[in-house]
Amino acid sequence: MGVTQSEPTLSDLLGYLDVLRARGDVHFDERIKAWHVLGYDVTQQVQMDSVTFSSEVAPLGPVEEDFTGNFLRADNPAHRRLRGVVSKALTPKMMADLEPRIAELTTRLLDTADDGGHQWDFIEQLAHPLPFMVMAEMLGIPADDLAFVRKLSDSVVEVRSSAAKESPNDNDAPPLRELKPLRELNSHLLEILRARRENPGDDLVSRLITVEADGARLDEEEALGCLNVVVAGHHTTTAAMGNTLLALDENPLVWDQLRADPALIPAAIDEAVRFRPPFPRSPRRTTRDTELGGQKIPAGSTVLVWLTTANRDDRVFADPDRFDILRKPNPHLSYGKGIHHCVGAPLARLETRIAIRLLLERYREIRVRDDAPAGLRNPWAISGESPGRWGLGDVVKPRVVNKLPIEVRKY
């Protein structure tokens, strides 16, 4: 396969988590002063109880950010109002209407990739540009601004990664909100917001500043925060698409199953998301004394919810380490549960489904190259947090596909 042994692998992470799991589904880690949550039922309990397990957990040190408007890190009632506006703006109909356009953009990207021959990079030439292009059109970002906004968005991700890697516990390092790429991105997005406020159109930005939730519209700062979440969301879709292709490459017989029955594509994507979650874990903070998995957890504690192990709990998933697209049911927790269920999950599934379908229709063979290994991105680079903060070191370093050189053969 395309991942060399010099890179930390999924097996490395699973081995590390097996050691944690042996200590119990819920246990306190004295070294990092945090509670690990590893079983399916306890993970789902945390996800569903947003009152006890708060999402208002700001990263420390060099990755500190201003979370105004960031509904991912807000609790109710702020979360309900912020997400309510985004949900009303990002309607199911709006996403369904995008399907022909997504197919058109995918076809255009594949044509360009094919112009370079039968070897090209799946992330660089399809999985990264496609979600960004779709997001940009939804937001109504002018065509002349696309390259600039994409460069800034990518730079913010890289700054998060570098800050986390180089100085994960350095409280003297400048917070992310003071760093140049985010300042420039915010300034540019703010110009777009103000222009739409003056002249609203039929795009997501206009809807963010005109629709109401709980009887009020978003102010400028809140709208900018929501917009930042939406802009960053395309990186998660890129990760899901790359991880899906990597899982299919590791299980090549599945390609034949999908060619024989394309209706199985959505199930294959869901199994890939279970098997390789874009985010291995999510943090929470307890707002009160509570009990979880037979353990008494004090108020103010940090809780690390490991989605990777929850998705491989053999009490819920038969033969959990096997990639099985016929798995029914498949109640994985990668997109969350409760109030923080991923608002962009339907769009991520849609884009990935269209991409896999068009790949199958165009190519009789798709494989990850052995001679040009995949590059893997640190998942904390996307979530804006440092593994060093939790004392996890390199064992959970790269997990999200960042480069994926492939070889294809047309029919």
- Residue 79 amino acid letter: H
What is the rounded average pLDDT of the residues 274-292?
91
Helix (H, G, I), strand (E, B) or coil at 313: coil
Tell me which residue of 317, 297, 322 sits closest to 307, measured CA to CA. Answer: 317
333-361 pLDDT, tens digit per residue, is 999 999 988 888 899 999 999 999 999 99
**What is the full DSSP assignment across 183-218?**
HHHHHHHHHHHHHHHHS--SSHHHHHHH--BTTB--
Does position 167 have pLDDT exceeding 60, yes or no?
no
Q: How confident is the model at residue 324 (pLDDT cuts 50, 70, 90)?
A: very high
Contacts 24+ apart (CB under 8 A), 338-342: 338/47, 338/48, 338/49, 338/50, 339/50, 339/76, 339/79, 339/80, 339/83, 340/47, 340/50, 340/55, 340/72, 340/79, 342/236
Tell me which residue of 268, 216, 283, 250 sits closest to 55, measured CA to CA. Answer: 283
Most confident option among 30-34, 302-306, 323-327, 400-404: 323-327
- Residue 4 amino acid letter: T
263-273 pLDDT, tens digit per residue, is 999 999 999 99
pLDDT at 160: 54
Whole-number mean pLDDT of the chain? 82
What's the gap between Cα 387 and its chain centre?
16
Q: d(Cα 253, Cα 220) in Å, to the nearest integer? A: 51
pTM over 0.95: no
Q: d(Cα 147, Cα 235) in Å, to the nearest integer? A: 15
10-25+34-410 classified as CATH 3.40.50.620 = no
208-251 pLDDT, tens digit per residue, is 888 877 777 888 888 888 887 777 778 788 888 988 998 999 99
